[in-house]
Structure 1
Amino acid sequence: MLITERSFLTMWIGQLATIFGNRFSEIAIPLIVLQVTGSPLQAALVVICSQAAPLILALPAGNWMERRSKRAVAMSAEAVSFTVMSVFTLAVLFDLLTVWLLGAGLFVIGAAGLFFRVSFGAMVPQVAGRKRLVEAHGWFEGADAISTFAGPVLAGVILSAYGTAAVLAVDAATYAVSFLGIAFLTLKEKPVSKQPRSREPMLAGLRMLVTNSRQQFITMQHIILNSTTTAAVLLVIIYTSESLGFAAWQTGVVLSAAGAGNIAAVLLLRSVSRLAWSSLYGGLMLLAAAGLLLISLTEALVLLAFGMFLFDGALSMAFVLNGSARTAVTSDARLARVLAASAFIGGAAAIAGNAFAGSVSEWFLPAFGLIGLSVLLAGSACASFFFREGRSPVQELEP
């Protein structure tokens, strides 16, 4: 089993720590802005600051990282994120935190996160092997599941009991743990001096995302997954805290139900991973659509939690399939560039998702936004069912 191998286990622990911390700030920062300004749109704009950096830097970053040590880049990125989150914590303690400081700091964290994701993703085939990509991504989704299950409710409880500084301090500590995980990783990287310098233009990575019908389908679904996920999380936070008047811990419970869905998805993934790729993906998108529709139609905590369970559980499996397929159809020599281009597309989609969530909540109702996302997911499912080149399992895909 992959998780029993020391190198992969070390990598997985670092990923678990990073995602766990992100779940803390994911709930804390929008609530901080809502408390200060009372504006869902401003909360969305602050969150967008963390997604603007990948949009600006992704394409040159992929080209630059092809000849760099992926481990060194990942460690540097986590060190930067730790520093910024520590500054946030101190600013809260000394009553110096402002919306402008949050926005600037999140921009830096977004840039660091881009470099971490691309370098981390490029290391996965070297550590796990190409034949075990679905298993590797499944374990990483398991880390996301654990973090999403425990993180939001703990963040809500800590936020209510101890305040903002405690939540941000936990997030800072998780970046330090991730840094150590990469530092102790056993990885034989190809010597940087022997890696050929790419002569392809910076936009070549984007062209690779649409070079054939499979890449085009993966890219389209990548856009839908990223825009829907970011929009849904912000809409649920605004819906529960503003429309329903929930306390922070209740909002945390709803978001933690998403983690329970992730755990169920990880447990089911091995038994369904041999099914036809596009049919499985389409079914998952329909389940996610049903979850969001349920959330938009209820005010009961239990039903809200069940809706998040369906939505995030289904989408977590969809993310695993999509990410595994992207890696499987891309060669090692082009992986950093393609992952960076994917981050660029994902960043644009995430910005659009948060802008949609904030504006719909500001001018209409967050429930309307949830219904719109449900319709989008249902449409994505239909496209997947009719995709003819997705009738083989992900494990059979090749570059």
Structure 2
Amino acid sequence: MGQTFSEFAYSTSLLALPLIVLTVTGSPSQAGFIGFVDAVTMVLAGLPAGAVADRYDRRAVMLWSQAGLVLVFAGASAALWAGAASFGVLVAFAVANGALTALLFTTASAVVPSLVPKEELSGAVAANAARTYAGQLLGTSAGGFLQSLRNALPFALGAVMHAVGLVTLLFLRPRPPVSRERPRGKAGQELWEGVRWIAGQPFLRLGLMYATIANFAYGTVYFIVIASAKQSGMDSGLIGLMAALLGVGGLLGALVSPKLLRLLTGSRPVFVVLWLFGVLTCGIALLPGRFTPGVLLGVAAFAAPTASAYFTTHQLLLTPDSHRGRVMSVSQVAGSSAAAAPLVGGVAYDLAGRAPSLLACAAVLVVTALSAVLSPVMRKPPHGAVGADGEGEKDPESSGLVQT
């Protein structure tokens, strides 16, 4: 439950912060830059966050991260309320928020296998996705609405949500792993261990590449939709409502993802999401209607949790507990690969306009989907799992001998 409140707070700031900058400056590029700062901080903090999650007690790491986020959000709210929040102050908030959120989310992902039995892992991953989308749904709605009332309110509510998340973590009692050794060696070697592990797993390596491309394109589309809606005169509250359709789609998709995983065998969840993203982005670019983009983004979000649960479960089962923090941090970095998406989206929108920019994103997604379908590695996913000794068991396809 704690992650739901954290996701709520993060989604609130993710929408409200660019809207504040856009309202003050009128520049999509500067609004994109503030989103870029937050996301690139999450990328840069990702690998160190994984090393911290593997070296220290994960529950304690999450507690300290939540406490830090309470202070950061409270400070931003106070500065905005007093009218003392310059652009530099907002950039500093984005940096602190991105770094602490990366640490919290990476550690939370790594701790999941210690909370549930192995056979219930995919269901737990799907349930976490449902909670995440619930937080996004409520957070984006609240962010746009509260920002339309007063700039400080989204961050004040974010501080409260992180405080509630902190309290819920006090009741978390993960099971100790069968055997878990703390990372040894130099700090730099620890940081890159997750990268090296995934590099030896062709399925994970290729899947993360597709996730990186899809996240970047989708993040670009999302920002262009928000920026174009704002510049067309749409109220911030309505923009928040439109953006909340993503949360609705994602929440519903997460709830039905266990059933969809039984229907979509092999890597079909990944294939479906990539093709669907490409087709729907074309629709966003070409179809009329003020709320059409939100509806189509919601449809795309409906499919995403199934692919995410499928891939995350493989990733956790193939990785020993001693490496899970660092491996999941690589996944978080891939998920945050949309770091440049707001910046690129803002610049593309300024230079080329709405429709050409969206069609370019659609083309990238279609080419990516075609590549995934034609890949023999993706067509034959591994079936390895982590054994009782905590060491990953490898399939022939995941041994690092298969060339992609």
- Same fold? TM cut 0.5: yes
Note if 1:356 corresponds to 2:338: no
Supply the AA of the counterpart residue of 1:383: S
Specify the SS of the correspondent of 2:64.
Answer: helix
Aligned-pair identity (%): 21
State the alpha-carbon separation in 2 of the partners of residues 234 and 31 from structure 1: 11
Go from structure 1 to structure 2 and tell me whether the alpha carbon gap of 1:378 and 1:49 turns closer, same or farther (over 3 Å shift): same
1:198 — aligned with what? 184
Aligned partner (choices 55, 72, 75) of residue 84 of structure 1: 72
2:156 — aligned with what? 169
Deviation at 1:89, TM superposition (A): 0.6
1:159 — aligned with what? 147
Contact 2:38 2:94 in 1 (8 A): yes
State the alpha-carbon separation in 2 of the partners of residues 65 and 15 from structure 1: 16
Contact 1:63 1:198 in 2 (8 A): no
Contact 1:238 1:366 in 2 (8 A): no
Aligned pairs (5 A) from 1:61-80: 61-80=49-68
Specify the SS of the correspondent of 1:164.
Answer: coil
- In structure 2, the gaps of 5 or more residues are 386-391, 393-404
146-155 or 77-86, larger mean C-alpha shift: 146-155
Aligned partner (choices 99, 121, 131) of residue 111 of structure 1: 99
Specify the SS of the correspondent of 2:199.
Answer: coil
Deviation at 1:191, TM superposition (A): 11
1:10 — aligned with what? none
Aligned partner (choices 33, 38, 45) of residue 33 of structure 2: 45
1:323 — aligned with what? 312
Aligned partner (choices 116, 119, 135) of residue 147 of structure 1: 135
State the alpha-carbon separation in 2 of the partners of residues 268 and 387 from structure 1: 27
Supply the AA of the counterpart residue of 1:343: Q
State the alpha-carbon separation in 1 of the partners of residues 234 and 104 from structure 2: 34
Aligned pairs (5 A) from 1:11-30: 13-30=1-18
1:332 — aligned with what? 321
Q: TM-score, normalised by structure 2?
A: 0.87
Supply the AA of the counterpart residue of 1:163: R
Supply the AA of the counterpart residue of 1:199: G
Deviation at 1:357, TM superposition (A): 1.0
Specify the SS of the correspondent of 1:184.
Answer: coil
State the alpha-carbon separation in 2 of the partners of residues 190 and 180 from structure 1: 24
Deviation at 1:222, TM superposition (A): 2.6
2:42 — aligned with what? 54
Contact 2:258 2:306 in 1 (8 A): no
Contact 1:282 1:380 in 2 (8 A): no
Contact 1:149 1:256 in 2 (8 A): yes
Supply the AA of the counterpart residue of 2:275: L
State the alpha-carbon separation in 1 of the partners of residues 141 and 287 from structure 2: 20
Deviation at 1:96, TM superposition (A): 0.5
State the alpha-carbon separation in 2 of the partners of residues 268 and 381 from structure 1: 23
Q: Deviations over 1:231-274 (max 9, x none)?
A: 232222102111x2211122122111112211331233121213
Go from structure 1 to structure 2 and tell me whether the alpha carbon gap of 1:16 and 1:53 turns closer, same or farther (over 3 Å shift): same
Q: Deviations over 1:310-344 (max 9, x none)?
A: 12222333333332232222221211121223334
1:181 — aligned with what? 168
Note if 1:217 corresponds to 2:203: no
Supply the AA of the counterpart residue of 1:60: P
Contact 2:47 2:326 in 1 (8 A): yes
1:301 — aligned with what? 290
CA RMSD of aligned residues (A): 2.3
Aligned pairs (5 A) from 1:243-262: 244-262=232-250
- In structure 1, the gaps of 5 or more residues are 1-12
State the alpha-carbon separation in 1 of the partners of residues 145 and 48 from structure 2: 41
Deviation at 1:220, TM superposition (A): 0.8
Aligned partner (choices 234, 247, 255) of residue 267 of structure 1: 255
Contact 2:126 2:255 in 1 (8 A): no
Deviation at 1:19, TM superposition (A): 1.1
The alignment covers a number of residue pairs equal to 382
Go from structure 1 to structure 2 and tell me whether the alpha carbon gap of 1:156 and 1:105 turns closer, same or farther (over 3 Å shift): closer
Contact 2:183 2:322 in 1 (8 A): no
1:3 — aligned with what? none
Aligned pairs (5 A) from 1:225-240: 225-240=214-229
Note if 1:33 corresponds to 2:18: no
Contact 2:203 2:381 in 1 (8 A): no
State the alpha-carbon separation in 2 of the partners of residues 226 and 320 from structure 1: 15
2:109 — aligned with what? 121
Deviation at 1:98, TM superposition (A): 1.3
65-74 or 307-316, larger mean C-alpha shift: 307-316
Aligned partner (choices 288, 292, 299) of residue 277 of structure 2: 288
Q: Deviations over 1:215-240 (max 9, x none)?
A: 22222123123323432322221021
Contact 1:84 1:109 in 2 (8 A): yes
Specify the SS of the correspondent of 1:179.
Answer: helix
State the alpha-carbon separation in 2 of the partners of residues 170 and 269 from structure 1: 30
State the alpha-carbon separation in 2 of the partners of residues 368 and 241 from structure 1: 18
